[in-house]
Amino acid sequence: MTWDIVGMGAVSCLADEPRAIHEALCRGESGVAPLRAFDRAAFRVQNAYEIDDRAVPGRDEPGRASRWLRAAVAAALADAGLADAGPADAGPADAADTDGDPGGSRFGGIADIPVLVGTTLRESRSAELWWRDGSELRPADLHFARIMRDAFGTVRTHTVASACAASLYALGMATDLIALGAAETVVVAGTDSLTESAFGGLDRVQHPAPRSVRPFDRDRRGMVMGEGAVAVVVRRAGTHHRPAHARVRGVAMNCDATHPTVPDPASVTSAVREAHRRAAIRPEDVDLVVVHGSGTHHNDVVESRVLGEVFGPVRPGPLVTSIKSGLGHTCGGSGLMSLVVAVLALQSGVLPPITDLRRPIPEARDLRLVAGGPALGDFTTAQIHAIGLGGINAVAVVGKAT
Amino acid sequence: MPGTPAGRWAVPPDGTPPETSPVITGCGLAVSGLRDEYDLLEPTATGAEHDPDAGRAGPGMRHKDRASRLALHAVRRALAGAALPDPAATAVVVSSNFGNLDTVCDFTDTIAAETVTGLSPIRVPHMSSNVTAGWVALEHSLRGPNITLCSGTTSGLDAVFWAATLLAAGRAEAAVVVGVEPDTAPVARLHREHGARSWLDGAACLIVEKPEHARARGVRPRAVITGYGRAARRDDAVRQATKAYDRPLGLWVAPGPGGLDLTARLGRCSGALGVLQCAAAAARFDRSADDAVQAVAGDEHTGARTEGDPGGVAALLLTRPESGHPGGDRHDIRV
């Protein structure tokens, strides 16, 4: 069984729609900039890949992850032809709901569509601003049901908080719903904004402080957080009235259960093999891999070993890239963001390079890392990795729409 | 697809044969005043008050966040000392809305007072919403899909639905499902600011597995997960959940009058509610002749009641296993 990707939307530090993001990455752009969200004096890490959209520069505000999610989902639905324009301007759910579904009229027919939102941090930033600065927080503001109900009328929102593998997990869960006949169409999304607790926590355990994400480079220092949201509309293959962007061939998800923070190469390898099995492909069918590539010491060594293990005998082997040098680590949404870029590479034949990759790590010597400029080719099959805290892995295989 | 309940997993159009529906085979609670799931059926607390997190310095508990400690206690009780036969094929699904809220808030306080150098590296993983699912997997070497849901008050019933979906999709043979909400300072403040006088401090765990898996390892099915629905209105959610069931419903386990209202007894249970409700259903099948229990979580009025949750209403239908019989043994396993 396969699934069609019929709509895509994304918001990031580089651009606010998928094609513009793909083009900026192909030009080797990076969205890294001096930290704006928090008082820089309290941190050692001084940079981030932020979306600079605060009403008052330098003053953080609640609800940004929800805002981008709404924009990305609206764009994906519009791209799929399931909505006319931008987000509906519905009032708060409290006012609208006494009986029946509120909102949704402008997005006619989508109130029954499940929305699976992958996120590492949910609206934790809103909680921080509530706890310390006294802004308002309702219990339900921590997850994304309200924003999805207000904007699109759906009451089938699931907030999937499986760390930085969350949005690819959500994709796997969506394919299951469709395969089991429980839905025909699912919106899969991811969103995260910088939180002080996560940014500070990562800062605390990374020495020396990274200035940017440098995947697979000897001079990498670790992960720098980014902000963004991404959404795709997934349908049972062949049921949509418009051509699909690409086809999901299979998604694997598992857990290392070996260490809270260090990924286990055997477990990641097993997720890759399971994804191939579900997609009914062989390693030599894979043209390109968008790795997790978070630029930490452990991650890049582990992914190099995994790719060596899976693709070792294959010549020349797939092209390998990471989008995190351009977009930062966008946490829960990062896997789906990688997938959207992979889909655009299948469509355009242009695969973005790892921005700023100069001296590859020795473990990656046999990999065809894309550096210096985009790689061109007639790509048909892409593999995407997402690896999250707690040892959780998701691997997706997407193919060119036929 | 309009008209198709987004929540059922009836695989073939002619309906899933009952014997292939996933079953609940184990329950474990870590809740003050409750010894086990049978106590959920009693209108007044019978068990002695105790700290559900007693033994926090015990093996595997040191340096963990409160939500994870509660969850690990509940999982140990549900497994009752037996290891799952195939940890590589066992999934973990955790539902929690406030599990990491104390770490998030503590970290911002510490950063404001001492900069990031004041943060404890050991606590860094606790800031992630999925910390509990990670610890549960690690303690029991569970290598199947590892899902954390933070979807509001429907989240606990949603978690059972997703566990069933993972089994139906061939991603796991069994799943450890946990609902946990710790009572920490930020949780207490948030609830108080929104009209609550009491709220849960505890965890519940269910072992969900394929019936043939349960048979093969010789454990007794205690409840069958028969249907699920999610809708803006309670009636619609229940209709979806009961679509393939035409016999009388027994007990309703739902907020409000007319059934077993766990929130009246335990306070707001948030993401743990649905998991506690399913544990109550398993106990009920042992203590009554009911053939079905209808669990309902979430609020169709998104305003004042319960947690003001806009995520709609989730309904889960649990039925008596074919081989089920009243009068299961009370298990007094203490870990």
For residue B142, the chain A residues in CB contact (below 8 A) are: 255, 257
For residue A156, the chain B residues in CB contact (below 8 A) are: 6-7, 230, 312
3-class DSSP assignment, residue B30: strand
A329 included as an active-site residue: yes
pLDDT reading at A395 higher than 70:
yes
List, as ranges, residues 274-313 from B with C-beta within 8 Å of A. 300-303, 307-313
Of A99, A145, A198, the CB nearest to B152: A145
10-residue mean pLDDT profile of chain B (335 residues): values are 35 44 96 93 67 70 91 95 88 97 97 96 92 96 98 97 97 98 97 92 97 93 96 93 92 90 92 97 96 91 57 94 56 36
In a domain, B5, yes or no: no
pLDDT reading at A15 higher than 90:
yes
A13 included as an active-site residue: no
Percent of all residues in chain A with a pLDDT value above 70, rounded to a whole number: 94
Domain count, chain B: 1
Q: What is the pLDDT of residue B306?
A: 54
In a domain, B256, yes or no: yes
For residue A122, the chain B residues in CB contact (below 8 A) are: 129, 150
In a domain, B13, yes or no: no
Q: How many CB atoms lie within 10 A of CB A301?
A: 17
Lowest mean pLDDT, pick from A5-19, A69-83, B250-264, B294-308: B294-308
Of B134, B151, B232, the CB nearest to A390: B134
Give A380: exposed, middle or buried? Use CB within 10 Å, 0-12, 13-18, 19+.
middle
Of B13, B108, B116, the CB nearest to A203: B116
In a domain, B330, yes or no: no
Of B5, B103, B142, the CB nearest to A257: B142
Measure B47 CA to nearest chain A CA, in Å: 30
Determine whether domain A247-400 maps to CATH 3.40.47.10: yes
Measure A251 CA to nearest chain B CA, in Å: 11
Q: What is the pLDDT of residue A294?
A: 96
Structural domain harbouring B27 = 19-319
Best B148, B149, B190, B225 residue to mutate vs chain A (most A CBs within 10 Å): B148
Q: What is the pLDDT of residue A301?
A: 97
Tokens of B278: 């399913």
Closest CA to B190 of A47, A128, A222, A20: A128
pLDDT reading at A188 higher than 80:
yes
Percent of all residues in chain A with a pLDDT value above 90, rounded to a whole number: 89
CA-CA distance, A98 to A94, in Å (whole number)? Answer: 8
Angle in degrees, CA B215, B217, B219, rounded to 5: 65
Q: What is the pLDDT of residue B309?
A: 75
- Tell me the pLDDT of chain A averaged across its residues: 93
In a domain, B289, yes or no: yes
In a domain, B12, yes or no: no
Q: What is the pLDDT of residue A86?
A: 41
A22 included as an active-site residue: no
Closest CA to A311 of A350, A340, A285, A278: A285
The active-site residue, picked from A22, A164, A245, A385, is A164
Residue A309's alpha-carbon distances to A317, A320, A367, in angstroms, are 12, 14, 11
List, as ranges, residues 225-254 from B with C-beta within 8 Å of A. 230-233
Closest CA to A358 of A217, A255, A241, A260: A217
pLDDT reading at A373 higher than 80:
yes
Q: pLDDT tens for residues A101-143?
A: 333 344 556 888 999 999 999 999 999 999 999 999 999 999 9
In a domain, B3, yes or no: no
Determine contact: B263 vs chain A, CB below 8 A: no
Mention the CATH class of domain A3-94+101-236.
alpha beta
Given a contact cutoff of 8 angstroms between Cβ atoms, the answer to whether A170 and A118 are in contact is: yes
Closest CA to B157 of B318, B287, B16, B34: B318
For residues A315-320, give the mean pLDDT. 96
Q: pLDDT tens for residues A279-302?
A: 999 999 999 999 999 999 999 999
Q: What is the pLDDT of residue B255?
A: 86
Categorize the per-residue pLDDT at A95 as very low, low, confident or very high, splitting at 50, 70 and 90: very low
Q: What is the pLDDT of residue B46?
A: 53
pLDDT reading at A246 higher than 80:
yes
Q: What is the pLDDT of residue B50?
A: 65
ipTM tops 0.90: yes
For residues A4-10, give the mean pLDDT. 98
Of B9, B111, B121, the CB nearest to A182: B9
In a domain, B331, yes or no: no
Determine contact: B98 vs chain A, CB below 8 A: yes
As annotated, the residues of chain A forming the CATH 3.40.47.10 domain(s) are 3-94+101-236, 247-400
CA-CA distance, B285 to B102, in Å (whole number)? Answer: 37
Answer whether A146 sits within 8 Å of B310, measured CB to CB.
Answer: yes
Q: What is the pLDDT of residue B331?
A: 43
The CATH number given to whatever domain includes residue B119 is 3.40.47.10
* B36 contact partners, CB below 8 Å, separation of at least 6: B27, B28, B29, B77, B283, B330, B331, B332
Determine contact: B161 vs chain A, CB below 8 A: no
